[in-house]
């Protein structure tokens, strides 16, 4: 597929519950608040978490009379016909159409993908400039890259997902000579700094270079994320819960997302409008 004008961020990991949708949504809202134009695509037709997040946001805004930024959003359903070939053709068409509609008038296109392999997910990966893979802070989650020797942490066998990313990379290289910047993001980091977490960090560092990806510090484990989803809000939005604990938790989470965006090294074009004022 030909390249787009927008910088494409794909959030992927063949594992459910690693924080893909939460990360994708927060990145989108953060970049909007920063004054960039953002479109989003949800290709997880089964869970549609991202799409629900967007709907919850619109409903909450309406209910409260709030005026907050929203991405232009597309939800792409999978095709369910009898012929695989026709389904792939139909999916390619709706994907192409959605991308075509926004590629030249947004700065960032953020695509949220399901925790398993689908045609739409592959299409998304082949369009990625930046691939963000959230991994939970456990050795088990490193399976997204490779099967590891449980004693030494040495990779034994490349994972299905790593192979899929490598394939998307070589396709990308053939199309326009560009590569995919693959960034593993630690998510739900335990605040306790357990021995296991340190081991995960060390192992990730060693194997990241081998798989041509890099690692970024991500987001700590925080209960606030659970209450934000039903109202479609992010840590960047003004929320009414004024409890001191909640607000300091919000402020720390905001700082973590800012650090994450800095670590992603995104090309930051001229802002479309002035950043909106965020609280600390
Ligand atoms: N940093 C975090 N701290 C606490 N809970 C989190 C965090 N990130 C995500 N979650 C929660 O984990 C669950 C799965 O997250 P989600 O983004 O839907 O994952 P995925 O899209 O990979 O399936 C959700 O209930 C979400 O609120
Ligand atoms: Mg999801």
Residue 97, C-beta contacts closer than 8 angstroms, at least 6 positions apart: none
Residue 244's pLDDT band, with cuts at 50, 70 and 90, is very low
The CATH number corresponding to 7-264 among 3.40.50.300, 3.30.70.1290, 1.10.1520.10, 1.10.3720.10 equals: 3.40.50.300
Check whether 13 has a pLDDT greater than 70: yes
Residue 174 CA, ligand 1 centroid: distance in Å = 35
Query: Closest ligand 1 atom to the C-alpha of 134?
Result: 22
- Residue 189 pLDDT greater than 70, yes or no: yes
Identify the residue whose tokens are 């695989």.
84
pLDDT at position 73 over 80: yes
Distance, in Å, from the CA atom of 114 to the CA atom of 30, rounded to the nearest integer, reads: 22
- Reported pTM: 0.93
What does the alpha-carbon distance between residue 29 and residue 278 come to, in Å, rounded to a whole number? Answer: 12
What pLDDT, in 10s, does the model give residues 75-103?
Answer: 998 998 999 999 999 999 999 999 999 99
Site to probe by mutation for ligand 1, drawn from 19, 23, 187 as the one with most ligand atoms within 8 Å of Cβ, is 19
Sign of the C-alpha dihedral, residues 13, 49, 216, 263?
positive
Which residues have beta carbons under 5 A from ligand 2 (an ion)? 20-21, 49
Ligand 1 contacts CB of residue 113 (under 6 A): no
Tell which atom from ligand 1 comes closest to the C-alpha of 253.
1
- Find the mean pLDDT for residues 205-225: 85
From 10, 16, 185, 225, give the residue whose CB has the most ligand 1 atoms within 8 Å, as the site to mutate. Answer: 225
């Amino acid at each position: 597929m030909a390249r787009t004008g927008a910088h494409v961020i794909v959030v992927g990991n063949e594992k459910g519950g690693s924080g893909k949708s939460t990360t994708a949504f927060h990145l989108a809202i953060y970049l909007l608040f920063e004054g960039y134009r953002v479109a989003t695509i949800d290709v997880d037709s089964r869970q549609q978490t991202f799409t629900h997040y967007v709907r919850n946001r619109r409903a909450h805004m309406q209910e409260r009379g709030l005026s907050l930024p929203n991405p232009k959003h597309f939800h792409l359903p999978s095709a369910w016909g009898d012929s695989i070939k026709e389904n792939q053709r139909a999916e390619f068409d709706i994907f192409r159409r959605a991308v075509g509609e926004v590629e030249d008038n947004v700065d960032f296109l953020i695509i949220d993908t399901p925790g398993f392999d689908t045609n739409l997910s592959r299409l998304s990966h082949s369009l990625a400039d930046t691939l963000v893979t959230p991994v939970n802070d456990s050795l088990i989650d490193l399976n997204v890259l490779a099967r590891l020797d449980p004693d030494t942490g040495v990779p034994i066998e490349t994972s299905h997902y790593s192979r899929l990313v490598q394939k998307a990379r070589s396709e990308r290289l053939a199309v326009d000579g560009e590569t995919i910047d693959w960034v593993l993001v630690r998510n739900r980091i335990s605040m306790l700094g357990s021995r296991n977490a340190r081991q995960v960090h060390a192992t990730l560092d060693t194997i990241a270079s081998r798989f041509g990806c890099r690692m970024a510090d991500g987001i700590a484990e925080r209960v606030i994320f659970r209450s934000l989803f039903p109202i479609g809000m992010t840590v960047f939005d003004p929320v009414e819960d004024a409890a001191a604990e909640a607000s300091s938790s919000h402020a720390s989470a905001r700082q973590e997302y800012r650090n994450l965006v800095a670590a992603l090294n995104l090309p930051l074009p001229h802002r479309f409008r002035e950043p909106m004022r965020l609280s600390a």
